[in-house]
Amino acid sequence: MGVAVTDRPGLPEASLITHIYYSLSLFVMGGVDLGMPVGGPLLGRCLLWLAYFAAPVLAASTVVGALLRGLAPQHWQLRRIKRHVIVAGNGDLAMSYLRVLRKHNPRIPLVVINKSFEPSVADELKQAFGAIVLVGDITHEFFLNQLRLEFASKILLMCDDSLRSYEAASTISSLVPDIGRKVVIHCSSLRFMRAMASSSVALQSQTFNTYHLAASGLVQNHLLSHFQTTAPRDTIVLAGYGRFGQTIVEALLDQAAEELDTVVIVDKNARRRVLIADEQREFTGSYQREVFEGDISHPEVWMRIQDQIELNRESTVIVLGTGLEEENLRTALWLKKKYPSAKVIARSAKGSHFASTVSREHDVVNISITELVEASIPTDWVE
């Protein structure tokens, strides 16, 4: 464009190689060796001035970025980390575990892994829990080798994909054969977990389901004490027989089988779900079981139950445990009004100030899966 420079006045007429050399020098020298732009149109001088400043800034940012990647704090932390806890997943279950972990052990090194993180979630993990946050595939051997598995105190696989968690546990066992019970696998599917119970991965690791923890917490914290204050045997009405209802029965049989007189199951697909549950585990015991099919919010269902079983007595516990929180709460209030002597429990997913307040006002027990899980996490997972 006809622009020259003061310290190299003959540069515009120089060879192509000379032009290339001085162009590359802009990234290091920023034009100091060339002098000030002179002559030519204003646009040409402005473009050269822009090159003088932009080239070294671009070079510096590239070098700084490389240094930061090479000297990243988490890179050096992982190189020397020991006795750390590794958590795969960042869902509600993982966050519940992290809250309990930090209450028991605020200083233990923590690594949280997932395929992706929302920026706000990553910030919370770093700032609230002091975690090293890594994006990667927990089933990939190269990635796992960076985590110093042999020095970890606990590895919790809490991904939403159950098969992926079992795959990760299998890979970890192949990399560190003696890792044993340090690996904890969460399986969201009860049927899959029961089917895999005899596999080598399940036998070498600890496996659990969220609802197992919640059901165990419900029995320990709400039902056992109630059983001790009532007649020799009680009637349990499970309104909703999905994963939560099935695990409540398992927990009752494991912890309080002698307290059960009758277990009443109410669900839209009650018979099918009972058959599936019985196929996977034999629910034996001296208690009587009654199955009613229908909508738990429909009065006609409760009329049929009342015709066979006395509900309005202190030894009756009614658990509204479906996944429909509004229906659970509304039906619980209606049942408590209709059967005031019975103990009525309504389930919600997370803690709710509103639901808790309304429940107290109507003498209904409100429980949340999150709170039950956090109260039931084994101490050896957090110590």
Query: Using one digit for the tens of pLDDT, what is the confidence trace for 28-38?
Result: 777 777 778 88
**211-257 residue pLDDT tens:** 999 999 999 999 999 998 988 899 999 999 998 999 999 999 989 98
Is the confidence at residue 360, as pLDDT, over 90? yes
**What are the start-end ranges of the H helices in the chain?**
16-29, 42-70, 73-80, 92-104, 119-129, 141-145, 162-175, 190-195, 200-204, 210-218, 224-228, 243-256, 270-280, 299-308, 325-338, 353-361, 369-376
CB burial of 125-139 (b: ≥16 within 10 Å; e: otherwise) equals beeebebbbbeeebb
- The single-letter code of the amino acid at 305 is I
Lookup: tokens for 43: 């646009």
Question: To 5 degrees, how large is the angle CA 118–CA 124–CA 125?
Answer: 90
Q: Return phi, psi of residue 121, to 5°.
A: -70, -45
* pTM reported for the whole predicted model: 0.73
The domains found in the chain, sorted by start residue, are: 4-70 (no CATH), 81-208 (3.40.50.720), 212-376 (3.40.50.720)
The span from the CA of 171 to the CA of 178, in Å, is 13
Return the amino acid letter for 148: R
Residue (of 219, 228, 232, 292) closest to 260 by Cα position: 232
Mean pLDDT over all residues of the chain?
A: 88
Torsion angle, alpha carbons of 110, 111, 116, 122, to 10: 30
What pLDDT sits at residue 76? 66
Residue pLDDT, tens place only, 103-129: 999 999 999 999 888 989 999 999 999
The separation between CA 314 and the C-alpha centre of its own chain, rounded to angstroms, equals 38
Give Cα separations from 336 to 134, 235, 240, 326 (angstroms): 49, 16, 17, 16
CA dihedral sign of residues 83, 87, 93, 95:
positive
Give the range among 155-159, 176-180, 233-237, 317-321 with minimum mean pLDDT. Answer: 176-180
226 contacts 365 by C-beta, under 8 angstroms:
no
What CA–CA distance (Å, rounded) separates 332 from 313?
A: 16
Q: Is the dihedral of CA 329, 332, 338, 343 positive or negative?
A: negative
- Report the pLDDT value the prediction gives residue 71, as an integer from 0 to 100: 57
* 13 DSSP 8-state letter: G
The more confident residue out of 97 and 23 is 97
